[in-house]
Amino acid sequence: MNRRNRCVVLIALACFAFLPVSAVRAAKIGKNSCGGTAVPNAYCSFEGTGDVSIGNDSCNVPGACNNLADGVRIGSNACNGDDACDSLGASGGEASVGNDSCNSYEACEYVGYNSGYATISSNSCNSYEACYEAGSGGRAVIGKNACAGTYACYEAGYSGGEITVGDGSCIDYESCCYAAGYGTGQAVIGKGACLGYESCYELAPYNGSYASVGQGSCIGMYACYETAYESNARAVIGKGSCIGGYEACCYTPAYGEAEIGDKSCKGDYACYQAAHESDTTFMVDKGSCTGYEACWEVAYYSGAQAVIGKGSCNGSDYSCYYLAVYGSATIGDKSCNGYEACQDVGYTDGVTSTIGKQSCNGTYACYETGDDFNASVGAGSCNNYESCYQVGHTSSENVGDKQCNEAQECSNET
C-alpha cells in the first residue's frame, strides 16, 4: 500500500470512529428469523441502535418482535406469535429470552419494560399472555420449563415487585398470575412448585409482602390461595407442603405471618384461614397439619397466635379445629392427631391454651379445651375418646402429664 492510499485509509477510519453508534451497530439475526428479510421490518424493529441478538427460527410472525430495546437477547425458536415479544426491555429496561420460549399470543409482550428487568430461560412462557408484562417496572427471573398456561405468570414481578420462578414451576391457568406484582412485593418459588389452577395466584402482590415457596410445594387448585396477601404480610412455605388438595393453604397468612415446615398442610383446606387477620402469627413444624381442614381456623382473629410442633394435627377431620380463634395456642410435637382432636382450643378473646407433646390424640381428645378460660394439657395426656371434654370451659384448668388417657376419664373437668 503506497503512502497516499495509507493516508486515505487512516482518514476513513478516523471519520468512521466519530459516526453515530446507530450507524456502526447491526442486529445479529439468526437463520430464518424476522421473516427472513433485512431488518428492521414488520417482524423485527428496534427502539434504539439495533444492538440486539436473535437466534434461528425466531420472531416469524408480523409484529412479534417490534420495538426491541438495545441489549435484548432472544434465543432460537422463540417469540413466534402475535406481539409475542413486542417492546421487550423497552423504555429503559433489560430482557432476555431463552430458546423455545415465548411462543404464543402476547406471551412475553412488555417483559422487562419501563426500567424493569426480566430473564426467561428455555422452554418457558409458551401460552397465551403467559408472561405478559413480567418484570415490567420490576424484576422477574423465570427458570426452565416454567410459566406454562394461560396467564401463568401474567404481570409477575410487575411495577416494583420482584419474583424468582424455579425450573418447572407455575404450571396451569393463572398459576402465578400477579405474583409479587405490585409495589415492593417479593416472591421466591422453588423448583416444581405452584402447579395447578391458580395455585399461587396473587402470591405476595402488595407492598412489603413476602412469600417463599419451597420445592414441590403448593400443588393443586388454589393450593396457596392468598398467601401473604396484604401489605407487610409474610409467608415461608417449606418443601413438599400445601399439596394434595383444594385450597391447601387457603388464606395463609393473609395479613399476618406464617412459617410452614416441610411436608405440612397437605389435603383439602389443610391450613384453611391460617393467620387470617391482622397481627397474627402461625408457625407449623415439619410433617404437621395433614388431612381435611387439619388446621382449620388457625390463629383466626386479630392478635391471635398459633404454634404447632412436629407431626401434629394430622388426621382426616378437624384435627386442630378452632385453634386459637380470638386467643393463642401452642401445640407440642406429635399431638392433636385424630378426629376433632383439639376442637375449641384457645377459643375466646385472650384465652391461652397449651398442649404438651404426644397429647390429645383421639376422637374429641381436647374438645372444649380453653373455651372461655385458659387451659393447659401436659405431655402424654388426653389420648382417648372425649378424654379432656370441657377442659377450661367454665374456669381455668390444667391437666398434668400422662393424665386423662381413659375413655371419658376427664369428661366432666370444668
Cell numbers found for residue 24: 456502526
Average pLDDT, the chain: 85
CA distance 172 to 266: 20
- pLDDT score recorded for residue 8: 28
Residue 414 has pLDDT above 60, yes or no: no
CA distance 327 to 193: 33
Categorise residue 149: left if φ over 0, alpha if ψ from -120 to 50, beta otherwise. Answer: left
- pLDDT score recorded for residue 142: 98
Whether the upstream peptide bond of residue 20 has omega within 30° of 0, thus cis, is no
Give percent of the chain with pLDDT exceeding 90: 52
CA distance 174 to 200: 8
Beta strand extents in 166-233 (DSSP E only): 186-189, 210-213
Residues 6 or more apart in contact with residue 94 via CB below 8 angstroms: 69, 71, 112, 116, 117, 118
CA distance 319 to 363: 9
CA distance 364 to 341: 5
Predicted confidence (pLDDT) per residue in 201-229, tens digit: 878 877 778 889 999 999 999 998 878 77
Q: Torsions phi, psi of 11, nearest 5?
A: -65, -40
Residue 183 has pLDDT above 90, yes or no: no
Q: What angle do CA 342, 222, 255 make, to 5 degrees?
A: 65
Q: Do you know the residue count of the chain?
A: 414
Give percent of the chain with pLDDT exceeding 70: 89
Predicted TM-score (pTM) of this structure = 0.88
- pLDDT score recorded for residue 120: 98
Q: How many CA atoms lie within 13 A of 163 on its CB side?
A: 44
Query: Measuring CA to CA, which residue among 148, 147, 139 is closest to residue 95?
Result: 139
Residue 11 has pLDDT above 50, yes or no: no
Residue 163 DSSP symbol: E
Lowest model confidence (mean pLDDT) among 84-93, 109-118, 398-407: 398-407
Query: Measuring CA to CA, which residue among 311, 413, 308 is closest to residue 353?
Result: 308
CA distance 98 to 54: 10
Asked if residues 371 and 392 have their Cβ atoms less than 8 Å apart, the reply is: yes
Cell numbers found for residue 364: 374429641
Mean pLDDT across 253-267: 86
Predicted confidence (pLDDT) per residue in 80-110, tens digit: 999 999 999 999 999 999 999 999 999 999 9
Helix, strand and coil content of the chain, in percent to the nearest 5, comes to: 5, 20, 75
Amino acid (1-letter code) at residue 353: S
Residue 1 has pLDDT above 80, yes or no: no
Asked if residues 389 and 410 have their Cβ atoms less than 8 Å apart, the reply is: yes
Residue 265 has pLDDT above 80, yes or no: yes
Asked if residues 373 and 367 have their Cβ atoms less than 8 Å apart, the reply is: no
Predicted confidence (pLDDT) per residue in 62-75, tens digit: 999 999 999 999 99
C-alpha dihedral sign at 347, 412, 334, 316: negative
Query: Measuring CA to CA, which residue among 204, 166, 153 is closest to residue 183?
Result: 204
